Structure 1
Amino acid sequence: MPDIEINRLKTERGVSGIPSSQIRPNALDRNSLRANVTAQLTPKATLQVSSGYINSRQRLPQNEDNGNGLMVGMLGGEWREDLRDSRGVPLLGYRAFPMGDILSRTTSQSINRFINSVQLQYNPISWLTTRAIVGSDFTARSDVGINLFEQGPLGVNRAGQVSANKAEINQQTVDLGGTANKQVFSWLNSKTSVGMQYIRNAFAQSEGTGQGLPPGATTTSAGAIRNASESFDERRTLGYYVEQVFNVNEKLFITAGLRRDAASAFGREFRAVNYPKIGASWVVSDQGFFPAYSWLNTLRLRATYGASGQIPGTTDALRFFSPFATTISGTADQPGVSLGALGNSTLRPEYSAETEAGFDLTMFDGKSNFEFTYYDKNTTDALIDRRVAPSLAGVTSRFQNIGNTRNTGLELVYNQKVISTDNLGLDFVLTGSTLRNELITLGEGVSPIPTGNRNTQLNTPGFPLFGLWGRPYTFNDANGDGILVASEMTYGDNTFIGATLPTRELAFTPTLELFGRKLRISGQMDSRWGMKKLNNTKRHQCQGGISCQGLYAGAPLEEQAKAVAAAASVFTGFYEDGSFTRFRELSLSYQMPNAWAKALKAERWNLVLTGRNLGVWTPFTGVDPETTVNNGDQRGNEEFFSTPPMRYFTFRMNFNF
């Protein structure tokens, strides 16, 4: 919290100090402990027990798409410092509330997580290995947000408000399997694996809120108005698999397999899905017909086909009802229900089948390694929340398996050792990829599906998924007064503007070792380009906001045109080049002298200093080209008052005893 705000709040509240949780609203404390115990029960049986515990508590300021949040407060205000709120408090350029009020709402999250597993491995004969693994991952989470009486942003919460959310996240797994590895002939090895896997995911939460707290109160029960809610969902998946691998003279490897999954999230009329795979890898350079080259060590050709799936959400296939209350003839609220979801008894998982082909090269006595891969992935039965006529049941959409998408591209990895001596080492890794994404078909009779904020994306066959569409425009300051008005704008038809997913990526990771290789310096630069990004923060500022440059006299005509177009719900002016190059990381590691380590009763002592997100170069004019609204695809490449990747440094000391 800025010092000027700390002093203002002291005077306003008549106190000598401000709580540290408000002065520093972002903090994290974390502890972790892990233990592994292995017991040799018999010469053929081994038992391993692993247990882990993580405890953390963090504070987070209000942020992101939140009118009372940090980023909205900073970026949403007018370009002037003379404005005041209704109390006469200077806003100092902030949108609606002084920063001290924004940071006076305390939000905290406490987590206790237990991760446990028991693994039994039994080898009854030399060529047969069996295993049984049972695991449990349990998390208890508590989220609390509180505005004390007469604290926080102006509004209803100023009278005191607290929300408490408690959740339990529970996952259990069972993994049973066996592998028979047998040398059938001197030139042929066979490995057969079979197994079963069971996964249970359960999520339960209860939430309570208290509104109108008396001075000093901090609990929901103290609120004059109280509300509570509770929810629970559970999902189970059961899978079986079989895999066969043949190894011919350590030169040719052939793999085939099949997996069958059933899940509680499937529609009741859909039982299970099969995922096959088949692949081959051939070290062709070791064959007698292949010419020998002094610079070539090995050349491996490989190709594979495999299938996988994305299961529906826990309740996507279910028809369920939602509660509501209504007041009849002035009497007390009467409980009732309405249809919450139509459900879909035939709902099944998305089905993705991918073919890959490529080669691996090792050259110059292992100093150079190159991997090249072409991939072609087709997804059918895509899970889409399709809009339906509200007149059918008052519900506007339901999940259906419609649509077919395709992703194709290239991937490469190049690893080069430049210098390798006892005292000096220099090498680098270069990785890159391309992506061509396309929506092939939608279901029969299904219109193109809009997504994204303000429906700026349109999913249309023949174009990329979640692509940006909009109406291009031109402008002409006809009277030359330097001010654009609506009549001086000309709009075109809705058209495809660009993909939102990067079509090309490249990363460069060099490593330098000095002083007998005790000092290690490594870094990473990565680039992504070939995509457009919606500057949704600027769109909000210009469409009904107050902090848009184009709304002010003297602004460039290009900026004015964006604001005028936004008033007509045309947002193409905010579609920008989202490409960037980021200095992702720089790390320095030094191995301390052995004598120093032994003085601390250690075998090794290592110091590591790391900096991340050290710089970015981009034509994007928003806060940062990597900011996103959320991690989903539909709005994953939009910036909307989002916090950019933070620059931070860590210092570690590692001891081995």
Structure 2
Amino acid sequence: MPYNDLNLWHPYSLTRYIDKQNKSFNTLGTAFGEYYITDDLKFRSSISGNLSNTRYNSYRFKNQGYGYSSLLAAEGNSQTSYSLNWLSENTLTYDKRFNDHSLNVLAGYSVQKQRDEFASVTSGSFPNDLVETLNAGVVTSGSTFATEWSIISYLARAQYNFQNKYFFTAAIRRDGSSRFGTATRWGYFPSVSAGWLISDEKFMQNLKAVNLLKLRVSYGVAGNNQIPNYGSISLLGTSNYASGSSLASGLAIGNIANTNLKWERTNQLNIGLDLRMLNDRIGVSAEFYNSITKDMLLNVPIPDISGFSNQLTNIGQMQNRGVELNLNTKNIVGKFTWSTDFNISANRNKVLQLGNSNAPIIYTDFLVAVKTEVGQPISNFYGYQVDGIFKNQAAVDAAPHYSTTKPGDPIIRDVNGDGKITADDRTTLGNYQPKFTAGLTNNFSFKGFDVSFMFQGSFGGKIVNQMYRYSGFWNNGRNMFAGVDNRWRSEADPGDGIHPRATLNLTGLQDQFTSLWVEDASFVRLKNIRISYTIPSSLLARTPLRNTRVYANADNVYLWSKYIGYDPENTTYNATNYSGNSNGLNASGNAPNGAFIGVDYGSYPIPRVITIGLKTDF
């Protein structure tokens, strides 16, 4: 069997023969001042900054295989990054209370700016491994870049309540972002909300069991500017061109400008109800929301005749509708106490519009494809459905298949029923979005001892295990998933009907995105256990210690999941990665740099962390 040297780094080599060092230095500062112009009118000004410097050095020892089929030369790399973010806020607040009325009015102005700089240098041809600094070798490459963004905001808000029973709030923001064109950089975002404390009404006074009942309603508009810096203009990049018989360095446009690019806007309605009863022994909070996102910031395919494959534009509408429920109970009250917090939430996402033609958007990265189309959740996984394994030649002959298909190969579903297996047979394979998420926390207390444990869970979502294309088929020199041992071997030994036969090369659609890569991402995690003991003050009377508590805390204690990868929650690409993306869709549902939410490429699992500590006052 031939040896495949792709992505086979040996763990021992990585830890013994590669030196890596990452140093970060962060400086944060905040200063503010307040001045009361009158007893009811206050001016506040603040400024804050965050300065970050990072240096990363790596050195790869020479003549090491690292799992490759040939030895590698030594290589050193040094990277430095610099980031400065500062924010200035200035507000004027009028706060007045008279009789049954209370009024608070705020007007403000803020400005924020960030500059990032990055430099990288790589050296090779090191004579030995004694000196790892780059000057010991020959510089082979280097690059630098700098980027900036800024935002200016004007805001106003008025809050009013009457008899502490009726509450009204109105606000508006005017935000300007440097990421949009000069004619479209400003966005207006108003909001209104109202609350009614029903339990304080006279008609509720006879309901002694109800301690609080409050109705909340709000409607507002929020903006999103999470696109690359300079995303609305064309950028130049280096490009070689022919000059006689040689190549010369030049510049070329890397993307199409869109000077009409503007803020993405989300209009959202919230209706909530808060209830506390039985002397606050039971508390319930429920909220329903419905949001419509318009002018979504998406990278959409464009005709190749333009010289480019996609363009960042405002297109389409999307709906998110959901409910959140929280339940708090005091189960036992006294010397021994027990309380429970439970929450559950569900969200349903649907694309309402994708431009004038409503043409679906299909985006592919590392063979994984997602499809966004009207009437469906955003970014459905899109590939071939596998319906088992061909057990014998008769089964192959009776079904649509490729000419190279043999017994033991996957059965690909003929979705369109044309008797052939083509790209038109790709179908929806699921979505990363869970049907619902939930959490449960219990707290116990007795004579200074406190114990709590928290569970969290996600149910109904899917995850793409991108390692399956390497470890799910026996066709090279890698270790395989354990399930491959149950592969098809012969008609008499068909295996589990899931894992195909061993081959020298991937056959049929084994190297294409199929349902074999898609797994259930549902999980339950024992997220936290905390045990603490408060030392009685009588034992500390002769010491300077006060309010002393010792504790032990464990995070990410245990995971229950059917996912064969490390962790279905800590995927390679997730929502935290999406600010400032350049190639993927926005944070509303797609990922940056061609990656996707819910795709795992062997990411490191969330670590278990155990902390033991003591907290005291002097």
TM-score normalized by the length of structure 2: 0.85
CA distance in 2, matches of 1:291, 1:435: 37
Shift of 1:597: 4.9
Task: Measure how far apart 1:578 and its partner are.
Answer: 1.4
**C-alpha distance in 1 between matches for 2:260 and 2:153:** 20
Are 1:597 and 1:604, in contact at CA under 8 Å, matched by a contact in 2? no
1:213 aligns with 2:213: no
Q: Name the amino acid aligned to 2:546.
A: E
1:630 aligns with 2:570: no
Residue in structure 2 matched with residue 491 of structure 1 by the alignment: 414
Alpha-carbon distance, 1:313 to partner: 2.2
**Closer/same/farther in 2, CA of residues 366 and 601 from structure 1, 3 Å limit:** same
Q: Distance in 2 between matches of 1:225 and 1:289?
A: 82
Counterparts of 1:406 and 1:577, CA distance in 2: 24
1:505, 1:528 within 8 Å by CA — same for their partners in 2?
A: yes
Tell me, what secondary structure is at the counterpart of 2:203?
A: coil
Q: Tell me which residue corresponds to 2:304.
A: 390
Deviation at residue 425 of structure 1 after TM alignment: 1.7
Task: Tell me, in whole angstroms, the C-alpha distance in 2 between the residues paired with 1:328 and 1:100.
Answer: 48
Given that 1:205 and 1:232 are in contact with CA atoms closer than 8 Å, whether structure 2 keeps it comes out as yes
- Give the conservation status (yes or no) of the 8 Å contact 1:148–1:160: yes
Kindly indicate whether residue 610 of structure 2 is the aligned counterpart of residue 649 of structure 1.
yes
- Say whether residues 1:381 and 2:284 are aligned partners: no
Equivalent residue in structure 2 for 1:244, among 127, 140, 158: 158
Partners of 2:261 and 2:4 in 1: CA distance:
53
- Aligned: 1:589 with 2:504: no
* Residue of 542, 556, 560 corresponding to 2:500: 560
Question: How far has the Cα of 1:316 moved from its partner?
Answer: 1.1
Q: 1:171 aligns with which of 85, 88, 94?
A: 85
Aligned residue for 1:173, secondary structure, equals strand
Deviates more, 1:567-576 or 1:291-300: 567-576
Offset at residue 147 of structure 1 (A): 0.9
Match of 1:571 among 492, 509, 514: 514
Give the total of aligned pairs.
Answer: 563
How far off its partner does 1:591 sit? 1.5
1:610 aligns with 2:533: no
Scaled by the length of structure 1, the TM-score of the pair is 0.80
Which secondary structure state, in structure 2, belongs to the residue aligned with residue 654 of structure 1? strand
Aligned equivalent of 1:523:
453
Which structure 1 segments of 5+ residues have no match?
1-77, 87-93
**In 1: Cα distance, 2:85 partner to 2:294 partner:** 29
Q: Does 1:503 align with 2:427?
A: no
Shift of 1:476: 4.1
Aligned residue in 2 for 1:449: 361
Give 1:512's match in structure 2, choosing from 432, 439, 444: 444
* 3-state SS in 2 of match to 1:318: coil
Aligned to 2:445, what secondary structure does the other structure show? Answer: strand
| Distance in 1 separating the partners of 2:141 and 2:540 | 59
Q: Superposed, which structure 2 residues align to 1:36-435 within 5 Å?
A: 96-103=8-15, 104-151=17-64, 153=66, 154=68, 158-183=72-97, 185-215=98-128, 216-290=130-204, 292-311=206-225, 312-325=227-240, 328=243, 334-392=248-306, 394-421=307-334, 423-435=335-347
Letter in 2 for 1:324: S
Aligned to 2:13, the other structure's residue is in SS state helix
CA distance in 2, matches of 1:619, 1:98: 27
Q: Does structure 2 retain, via aligned residues, the 8 Å contact 1:476–1:489?
A: no
> Which residue in 1 is equivalent to 2:523?
580
CA distance in 2, matches of 1:274, 1:285: 36
Q: Which amino acid letter does the alignment assign opposite residue 266 of structure 1? A: F
Deviations 1:44-95 (A, max 9, x none): xxxxxxxxxxxxxxxxxxxxxxxxxxxxxxxxxx9xxxx9999xxxxxxx97
Query: Deviation of residue 556 (structure 1)?
Result: 2.1
- The separation in 2 between residues aligned to 1:343 and 1:599, in whole angstroms, is 73
- Quick check: 1:157–1:212 contact (8 Å CA) kept in 2? no
Q: Relative contact order: is structure 1 or structure 2 higher (C-alpha 8 Å, sep ≥ 6)?
A: 2
State the secondary structure of the residue aligned to 2:232: coil
CA contact (8 A) 1:105 1:151 kept: no
SS of 2:86's partner is strand
1:405-449: per-residue Cα shift (whole Å, max 9, x none)?
11111001111111222x322101111101101111111236311
For the Cα contact (< 8 Å) 1:176–1:196, is it kept in 2?
yes
CA distance in 1, matches of 2:152, 2:386: 54
3-state SS in 2 of match to 1:289: helix
Identity across matched positions, percent: 19
Task: Between 560-569 and 295-304, report the one with greater CA deviation.
Answer: 560-569
CA distance in 1: counterparts of 2:410 and 2:551, whole angstroms: 62
Q: Secondary structure at the match of 1:360?
A: strand
Is residue 392–residue 408 contact of structure 2 (8 Å, CA) maintained in 1?
A: no
- In 2, the alpha carbon distance for the partners of 1:291 and 1:655 equals 45
